[in-house]
């Protein structure tokens, strides 16, 4: 679909390049056959290095019904008894969490922080959502709304 689409549903386009289902949602270069907006022609896929990074991530294995939903590994090899007690005092240590794909709820009294390298997402008790990273991508196939009492850019 594209912003100037006069129809209330996505239009079918012809393409000059091979397009696969895995490329759905990526930006494309469009021309219009006979200059008519109702006849879109995909001229190419817009190159975005982030898409290559996303495609290279491994997909999490399917959940085996025989396995528990959240496997815990309380007995870590090579951990001293004192260190094991210390780890258990702060709660169980999870190596991996597998979910059923229906719904996941994480709740923290003060805040929830998701971290990976130099990227983080923090949810605070006060209702703030802090997103930090070297590169942020916000992509929507529909309307992308920014609403607030005020919006500041830079």
Give the residue extent of every domain in the chain. Answer: 14-56, 105-141
What's the pLDDT at 153?
A: 80
Residues 55-83 have pLDDT tens digits of: 655 444 444 444 444 444 444 444 444 44
The CA distance from 85 to 75, in Å, is: 10
Listed residue (66, 4, 57) closest to 30, CA to CA: 4
The CA distance from 3 to 14, in Å, is: 18
Put simply, whether the predicted model's pTM sits higher than 0.85 gets the answer no
Asked if residue 40 lies in contact with residue 32, where contact means CB atoms within 8 angstroms, the answer is yes
Asked if residue 41 lies in contact with residue 16, where contact means CB atoms within 8 angstroms, the answer is yes
């Amino acid at each position: 679909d594209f912003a100037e689409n006069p129809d209330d549903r996505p239009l079918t386009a012809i393409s000059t390049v091979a397009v696969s289902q895995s490329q759905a949602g990526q930006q494309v270069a469009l021309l219009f056959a006979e200059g008519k907006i109702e006849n879109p022609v995909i001229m190419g896929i817009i190159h975005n290095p982030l898409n290559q990074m996303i495609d290279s991530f491994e997909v999490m294995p399917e959940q085996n019904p025989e396995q528990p939903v959240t496997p815990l590994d309380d007995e870590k090899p090579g951990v001293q008894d004192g260190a094991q007690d210390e780890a258990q005092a702060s709660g169980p240590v999870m190596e991996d969490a597998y979910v059923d794909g229906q719904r996941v709820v994480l709740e923290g009294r003060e805040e929830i922080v998701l971290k990976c390298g130099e990227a983080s997402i923090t949810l605070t008790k006060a209702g703030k959502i802090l997103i930090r990273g070297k590169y942020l991508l916000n992509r929507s196939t529909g309307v992308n709304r920014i609403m607030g009492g005020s919006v500041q850019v830079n």
